[in-house]
């Protein structure tokens, strides 16, 4: 099968687990004899590049948090250029590769037009959804410009002299974008929570399959720990909605109120939002935790296993609706006990007092209570560690995930070509 994978980011230039998982799956599919071409953005490279199996040619918008306000004309020009390049790049890839199926991963910050082009091309299309982009795809700025702002503008400026030029303007969206929404005939979600969110947002994905992430157990081997529990870890992007501050505050409670001065906390991850890391550093200073907390910055993926093995507890204090959470699965595979929140998809993995300990989001005191239980109860710690590994082995392995994805993609390709009615 020839599979054209479209992903906004792709290693070695990445930010989070979504694109790392994409890389794992692409390699897994290639190992099973499928031909895969990855179409991704120019994120991390200075100019468009085409190498064997990976085309880095799509325009990627930087995150809203980092984007400075632009004037309307500059913004329009920027978007129009992105549209033109994205269309050309996608069509070139389809013509050159002639895929059996177009497999969309993350389209956040890419032009949604490529999905419209794919759906109208006749090639079977499947979406693998591991964050909320699909539920909010109408927020694509080009789409929103024509389908959101323009009608409002027309209503507001419905005067006699503006009617004719606006009448012309009204026809433009039809020429540039189809009026119907994305069909989304074949979708795969990494959690029931994501499918529910997309359904709640009115997307026609009731038929979507739930295929949980899988972990490469060889890369993340189990290692038994011995008491005492002293080393805490956070691994992930250092962003406000990841709730790292809750973990720091919990450590403050453990150190100052419960006398657990031996505890250390390593924060590993890139600070894509510099203001937040400085907030955290200020919090660490104000709680007098400078000797207990280390900011280790971003680490290469191959270092993660060692980090999990060197730490006793992984903190996962997320406050947003997590799509799924790959990091906790990796840590659990390594035997590192997870203490976290069950927001969003995490609830499908964590079982309180069975394979993890959970606490309400933003509740530092509850987090500290759960951590303290691990510190004083080595039997509980050992049981959680073993159960977590067993759960990953039975439900969340990478080969198992690729089996399900492959079977579903073959089904999509067959339906798309009319081989199966």
Binding residues (CB under 8 A) for another protein: these are 64-65, 67-70, 75, 139, 141, 144, 240, 245-246, 249, 273-275, 277-279, 281-283, 285-286, 360-365
Question: What b/e sequence results for 380-405 when a residue is b if at least 16 CB atoms lie within 10 Å of its CB, and e otherwise?
Answer: ebbebbebbbebbeeebbbebbbeeb
Report whether 21 contacts 213 (CB < 8 A).
Answer: yes
Residue nearer to another protein on the CB measure, 237 or 336: 237
Q: How far is the CB of 213 from another protein (least distance, A)?
A: 25
Residue nearer to another protein on the CB measure, 53 or 282: 282
Q: How far is the CB of 314 from another protein (least distance, A)?
A: 21
Q: How far is the CB of 292 from another protein (least distance, A)?
A: 16
Q: How far is the CB of 67 from another protein (least distance, A)?
A: 6
Q: How far is the CB of 321 from another protein (least distance, A)?
A: 10
Locus of tokens 């479209």: 6
Report whether 309 contacts 223 (CB < 8 A).
Answer: yes
Residue nearer to another protein on the CB measure, 217 or 287: 287
For 107-242, where are the alpha helices, taking DSSP H only?
113-121, 141-144, 150-156, 163-176, 192-200
Q: How far is the CB of 221 from another protein (least distance, A)?
A: 37
User: How far apart, in whole angstroms, are the C-alpha atoms of residue 213 and residue 18?
Assistant: 10
User: How far apart, in whole angstroms, are the C-alpha atoms of residue 389 and residue 72?
Assistant: 53
Q: How far is the CB of 273 from another protein (least distance, A)?
A: 7
- The phi and psi torsions of 370 (rounded to 5 degrees) equal -70, -40
Q: CA end-to-end span of the chain, whole Å?
A: 19
Strands (E), 260-358: 264-268, 293-297, 313-316, 337-340, 357-358
Q: How far is the CB of 159 from another protein (least distance, A)?
A: 17
Q: How far is the CB of 288 from another protein (least distance, A)?
A: 9
Question: What b/e sequence results for 273-287 when a residue is b if at least 16 CB atoms lie within 10 Å of its CB, and e otherwise?
Answer: beebbebbbebbeeb
Residue nearer to another protein on the CB measure, 281 or 386: 281
Residue nearer to another protein on the CB measure, 330 or 363: 363
What residues form DSSP beta bridges with 185?
none
> Which residues have C-beta within 8 Å of that of residue 377, sequence separation ≥ 6?
none
Residues counted in the chain: 421
In degrees, rounded to 5, the angle at the alpha carbon of residue 152 between the alpha carbons of residues 147 and 155 is: 130
Residue nearer to another protein on the CB measure, 313 or 319: 319
Residue nearer to another protein on the CB measure, 84 or 286: 286
Residue nearer to another protein on the CB measure, 151 or 275: 275
Report whether 143 contacts 39 (CB < 8 A).
Answer: no
Helix (H, G, I), strand (E, B) or coil at 306: helix
Residue nearer to another protein on the CB measure, 278 or 417: 278
Per-residue tokens: 407: 């079977």
DSSP type of residue 186: S
């Amino acid at each position: 099968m020839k599979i054209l994978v479209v992903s906004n980011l792709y290693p070695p230039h990445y930010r989070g687990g979504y694109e790392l998982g994409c890389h794992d799956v692409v390699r897994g599919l290639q190992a099973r004899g499928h031909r895969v071409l990855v179409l991704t953005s120019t994120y991390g490279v200075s100019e468009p590049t085409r190498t064997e199996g990976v085309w880095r040619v799509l325009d990627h918008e930087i995150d809203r948090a980092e984007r400075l306000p632009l004037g309307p004309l500059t913004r329009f020009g920027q978007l129009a250029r992105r549209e033109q390049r994205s269309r050309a790049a996608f069509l070139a890839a389809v013509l050159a590769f002639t895929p059996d199926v177009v497999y969309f991963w993350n389209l956040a910050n890419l032009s949604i037009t490529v999905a419209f082009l794919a759906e109208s091309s006749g090639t079977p299309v499947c979406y693998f959804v591991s964050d909320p982009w699909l539920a909010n795809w109408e927020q694509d700025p080009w789409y929103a410009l024509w389908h959101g702002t323009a009608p409002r503008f027309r209503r507001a400026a419905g005067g006699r002299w503006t009617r004719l030029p606006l009448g012309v303007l009204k026809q433009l969206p039809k020429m540039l974008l189809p009026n119907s929404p994305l069909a989304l005939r074949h979708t795969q979600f990494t959690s029931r929570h994501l499918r529910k969110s997309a359904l709640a947002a009115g997307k026609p994905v009731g038929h979507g399959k739930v295929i949980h992430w899988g972990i490469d157990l060889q890369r993340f081997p189990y290692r038994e720990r011995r008491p005492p529990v002293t080393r805490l870890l956070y691994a992930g992007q250092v962003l406000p909605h990841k709730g790292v501050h809750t973990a720091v505050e919990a450590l403050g409670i453990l150190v100052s109120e419960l006398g657990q001065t031996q505890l250390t906390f390593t924060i590993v991850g890139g600070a894509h939002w510099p203001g937040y890391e400085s907030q955290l550093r200020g919090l660490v200073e104000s709680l007098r935790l400078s000797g207990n907390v280390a900011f280790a910055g971003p680490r290469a993926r191959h270092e993660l296993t060692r980090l999990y093995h060197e730490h006793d507890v992984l903190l996962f204090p997320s406050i947003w609706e997590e799509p799924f959470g790959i990091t906790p699965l990796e840590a659990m595979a390594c035997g590192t006990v997870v203490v976290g929140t069950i927001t969003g998809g995490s609830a499908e993995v964590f079982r309180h007092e069975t394979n993890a300990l959970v606490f309400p989001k933003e509740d530092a005191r509850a987090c500290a209570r759960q951590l303290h239980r691990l510190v004083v109860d080595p039997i509980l710690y050992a049981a959680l560690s073993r159960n977590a590994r067993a759960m990953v082995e039975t439900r969340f392995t990478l080969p198992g995930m690729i089996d399900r994805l492959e079977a579903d993609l073959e089904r999509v390709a067959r339906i798309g070509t009319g081989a199966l009615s």
